[in-house]
């Protein structure tokens, strides 16, 4: 019964936000880089920091995680409306990340691992934000990742939290997982989700004896983001400027594959990777070499598809 009430509560909160957004013109207006063609409500992802507040009230999450997500979500929401400079956003992300490390007792490990973790977490937050560019892609990816984490024994203590977040995701999907989305995550949603998933990743690694091979749970988004950045650097482009250079953008915007099909493919591929390593390979059985080979294979397949799509684009 509690989950039905949570779903209905999240739905009510989202509908109330839509009224506020329409009243105060918090809308995403299409431009030449957009993948959408109509005015769409921005910031629908506000449901995720709100869901953490609910989770805190239910005793499902630490107050530090809820506070970090809440503060960064507030800054991101302001950025959605007024476009803040990179400085304040970067500073709050670094500070928030360090607070999460404190919450996870990460400061007990060698400082070099703290530095690496900070770089990876900040990179993940921004990569996830960059990848949120077409309808349904990030909410489906989030559901896949939450499900995958829930299968790991050390994460069973978070089962109620996963369900709460999945319910919030389901509510948002009602308005985003459609041909003509009614709402987008906005930075407030994408960055909140990235922090939450990053938190679960660090927790999982720390509680499985430092098994960083679970990073493969982020491999599809990670490979697309990293290779796209490298290609843009090679082409001497400003990697901080908006663009449409990700593979999913090529597929959806240039090849004209249905956005929902592209989003479903990204989620399905990541789910397949996760299940193979959970049920057939076993993360506990992986070696450094096998982990690197796995990443190289994933990146190689991605790059081959990317080249083929670019070739197809050239003849359109």
Q: What would the pLDDT profile of 168-197 be if each residue is shown by its tens digit?
A: 999 999 999 999 999 999 999 999 999 999
Mean pLDDT of 45-65: 97
Spatial distance between the Cα atoms of 177 and 135, rounded to a whole number of angstroms: 6
The answer to whether residue 36 scores a pLDDT higher than 60 is no
The answer to whether residue 92 scores a pLDDT higher than 60 is yes
Mean pLDDT of 79-83: 81
Mean pLDDT of 220-236: 94
Q: What are the pLDDT digits (tens) for 273-295?
A: 999 999 988 888 899 999 999 99
Q: What are the pLDDT digits (tens) for 10-25?
A: 999 999 999 999 999 9
187 annotated ligand-binding residue: yes
- More confident site: 85 or 18: 18
Report which of 102, 138, 170 is spatially closest to residue 262, judged by C-alpha positions.
Answer: 138
pTM: 0.95
79 annotated ligand-binding residue: no
Percentage of the chain exceeding pLDDT 90? 83
The answer to whether residue 147 scores a pLDDT higher than 90 is yes
Q: How many domains does the chain have?
A: 1
Query: Using a CB cutoff of 8 Å and minimum separation of 24, what contacts does 208-215 make?
Result: 208/152, 208/154, 208/283, 208/284, 211/283, 211/284, 211/286, 212/291, 213/277, 213/283, 213/286, 213/291, 214/152, 214/283
* Per-residue model confidence (pLDDT) at position 76: 93
* Per-residue model confidence (pLDDT) at position 34: 56
* Per-residue model confidence (pLDDT) at position 189: 97
Write out the residue range of the structural domain in which residue 156 sits: 2-314
Going from the C-alpha of 226 to that of each of 93, 218, 291, the distances in angstroms are 19, 12, 17
pLDDT confidence bin for 86, thresholds 50/70/90:
confident
Half-sphere exposure of 176 (CA within 13 A, CB side): 32
pLDDT confidence bin for 243, thresholds 50/70/90:
confident
* Per-residue model confidence (pLDDT) at position 237: 87
Angle between helices 186-206 and 47-57 (to 10 degrees): 50
Spatial distance between the Cα atoms of 129 and 126, rounded to a whole number of angstroms: 5
Mean pLDDT of 144-167: 97
The answer to whether residue 84 scores a pLDDT higher than 90 is no
pLDDT confidence bin for 33, thresholds 50/70/90:
low
């Amino acid at each position: 019964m509690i989950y039905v009430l949570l779903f209905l509560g999240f739905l009510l909160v989202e509908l109330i936000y839509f009224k506020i957004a329409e009243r105060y013109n918090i809308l995403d207006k299409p431009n030449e880089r957009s993948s959408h063609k109509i005015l769409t409500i921005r910031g629908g992802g506000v449901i995720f920091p709100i869901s953490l507040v609910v989770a805190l009230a239910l005793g499902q999450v630490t107050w530090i995680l809820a506070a970090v997500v809440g503060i960064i979500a507030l800054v991101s929401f302001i950025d959605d409306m007024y476009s803040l400079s990179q400085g304040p956003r970067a500073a709050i992300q670094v500070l928030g990340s360090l607070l999460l490390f404190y919450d996870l007792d990460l400061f007990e490990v060698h400082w070099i691992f703290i530095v690496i973790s900070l770089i990876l977490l900040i990179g993940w937050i921004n990569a996830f934000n960059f990848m949120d560019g077409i309808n349904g892609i990030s909410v489906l990816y989030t559901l896949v990742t939450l499900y995958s984490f829930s299968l790991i024994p050390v994460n069973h203590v978070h089962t109620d939290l996963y369900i709460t977040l999945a319910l919030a995701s389901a509510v948002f999907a009602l308005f985003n997982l459609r041909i003509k989305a009614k709402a987008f995550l906005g930075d407030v949603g994408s960055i909140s989700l990235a922090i939450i998933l990053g938190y679960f990743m660090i927790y999982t690694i720390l509680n499985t004896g430092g098994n960083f091979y679970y990073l493969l749970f982020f491999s599809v988004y990670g490979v697309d983001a990293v290779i796209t950045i490298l290609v843009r650097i090679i082409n001497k482009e400003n990697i901080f400027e908006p663009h449409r250079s990700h593979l999913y953008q090529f597929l959806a915007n240039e090849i004209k594959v249905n956005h929902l099909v592209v989003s479903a493919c990204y989620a399905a591929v990541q789910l397949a990777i996760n299940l193979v390593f959970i049920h057939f390979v076993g993360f506990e059985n992986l070696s450094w070499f096998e982990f690197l080979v796995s990443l190289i294979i994933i990146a190689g397949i991605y790059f081959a598809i990317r080249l083929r799509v670019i070739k197809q684009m050239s003849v359109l």
